[in-house]
Amino acid sequence: MEHEREPRLLGFGVRLGINAAALWLAAEWVSGFEIDGWQSLIAAAAIFAVVNAIIKPVVDLVGLPVTCLTLGLFHLVVNAAMLAFTVWIAGQFDFDVELDGFFAAFLAALLISFVSTLLSAFIGRPIRWALR
């Protein structure tokens, strides 16, 4: 049983690292999205992972008709909303994460999705494959 938990914990660590790298890059490149300090970055990555794992599937399901009508473009709005919700939660715990408006949230979420997908493909999958 203990042997089965280790790959899951390592997988969570890899996912957290990918989220942190994507959030850091978005904070560096997108004007209006700022994360100050590594503690805030790690906390935001963990909050973002929980939001994406628990809340986003429900929002995706509820918004499915609109996503279909907009040929998937509404999904980008959902991603921006999940990032804004992450920033709000981080602010409730006094972490220095700031987001200035919808356009910054939209661009940051777009970049985070892109970077996360690339890093998952080139880092996450090989590690998960090696653990099997």
* Cα–Cα distance, 42 to 95 (Å, whole number): 10
Give the tens place of pLDDT for each residue, 43-99: 999 999 999 989 999 999 999 999 999 998 999 999 999 999 999 999 999 999 999
pLDDT > 70? residue 5: no
105 vs 129, higher pLDDT: 105
Q: Which domain, by its residues, includes 38?
A: 2-131
Read off the pLDDT of each residue in 15-20 and give the average, rounded to a whole number: 92
0.75 surpassed by pTM: yes
Q: How many CB atoms lie within 10 A of CB 101?
A: 10
Give how many domains the chain has, as a whole number.
1
